[in-house]
Amino acid sequence: MALDMLPVRLIPLGVGHSFTTLFHYTNFLLIAGERRLYIDCPPYLLKMLRQYREALNDPEICVERYQEVIVTHAHEDHCAGIEELGYMSIRRRPYKPKIYAPAGVHGSLWAESLAAGLRWRMDGESYVAKEYTDYFTPVYLEYGVPFDMGDGISLEIRRVRHMPETFGLKLTFGPGRSLGYSADTGFMPELFDWWADCGCILHEVHFDPDIRWHTPLRDLLSLPEAVQERIWLCHYTDDYLSHDIGAMHYLKQGVSYTLFTQESSIHVENPCAARE
């Protein structure tokens, strides 16, 4: 069956804010046919993958199959696992995972984060300087320009309000089959026009009403109810259950969601796996 006819599975591997003590940091696995796309890459990657490999009884959730990751920005909660990925890939040459990001994110990832751990390798008794491309296959995205990921999958990114280089995205798996993700951002109401054709929108939330570099719950609650119903919240702090989230939903860590079924744009498969 063509990929644009198949349901897509979404597993939130983490849903927590960077100060979470309950969850993994926010990151996702999307499974579309044979493709496995990861979005953001938190620290303790290998431990997290093992946890899901065993809990979901899926041997494919492993570092060897971690071959494509979209990295939204260079904050540690979203990118620190890439150093682990780099160490694993250099041990298993010629395996070099693809990292999808605009040039600015690639640049800061290497220069301001990864180089500290990955620059130097020992070769006999001497030290050899390595580069980003010794470990990874960078795939360069441009803001506002849809990128063809193959298999009919399209990725479009827009700059959001967080670090200077941070992007929100729209992933499209065929006509009428789009998913939005905010990444970390201050409130940007114009994004919801861009996501008008998205059956579900994964959106960060923050409970401080005055924060500027994350999205206050208060601002999301100002959106029309029909928009709220398509919003699935992530990147939340430990007190999340004490807040009224209107018509929105919390994404639950470890639950398998099926997207783009005939009946609905998002279907919860095994809610028993969720932590309340």
* 249 binding Zn ion? (CB under 5 A): no
Provide the phi-psi class of 224: left if phi over 0, else alpha when psi is between -120 and 50, else beta.
beta
- Identify which range of 10-18, 33-41, 89-97, 258-266 contacts Zn ion by CB under 5 A: 10-18
What is the closest distance, in whole angstroms, from the C-beta atom of residue 163 to Zn ion in the complex? Answer: 6
What is the closest distance, in whole angstroms, from the C-beta atom of residue 257 to Zn ion in the complex? Answer: 21
- Coil vs helix vs strand at 213: coil
Site residues (CB under 5 A) for Zn ion, limited to 169-198: 184
CB 170 within 8 A of CB 191: no
- Identify which range of 40-48, 64-72, 73-81, 111-119 contacts Zn ion by CB under 5 A: 73-81
**Which residue number, 79 or 88, has a Cβ lying nearer to Zn ion?**
79
Tokens found for residue 192: 């919801």
Secondary structure (H, E, C), 149-209: EECCEEEEEEECCCCCCCEEEEEECCCCCEEEECCCCCCCCHHHHHCCCEEEEEEECECCC
**Which residue number, 73 or 177, has a Cβ lying nearer to Zn ion?**
73
Residue tagged 């496995």 (tokens):
36
What is the closest distance, in whole angstroms, from the C-beta atom of residue 34 to Zn ion in the complex? Answer: 29
Cα–Cα distance measured from residue 60 to residue 240, given in angstroms and rounded to the nearest whole number? 31
- Identify which range of 77-85, 100-108, 194-202, 255-263 contacts Zn ion by CB under 5 A: 77-85
Phi, psi of 198 (to 5 degrees): -95, 125
* 4 binding Zn ion? (CB under 5 A): no
What is the closest distance, in whole angstroms, from the C-beta atom of residue 213 to Zn ion in the complex? Answer: 8
Near Zn ion by CB under 5 A: residue from 75, 98, 159, 161? 75
**Which residue number, 43 or 174, has a Cβ lying nearer to Zn ion?**
43
CB-based contacts of 215: which residues, under 8 Å, 6+ apart?
A: 182, 185, 186, 187, 203, 204, 205, 206
Near Zn ion by CB under 5 A: residue from 77, 83, 156, 165? 77
- Identify which range of 2-10, 32-40, 72-80, 148-156 contacts Zn ion by CB under 5 A: 72-80
CB 177 within 8 A of CB 30: no
Give the binding site for Zn ion (CB under 5 A): 18, 75, 77, 184
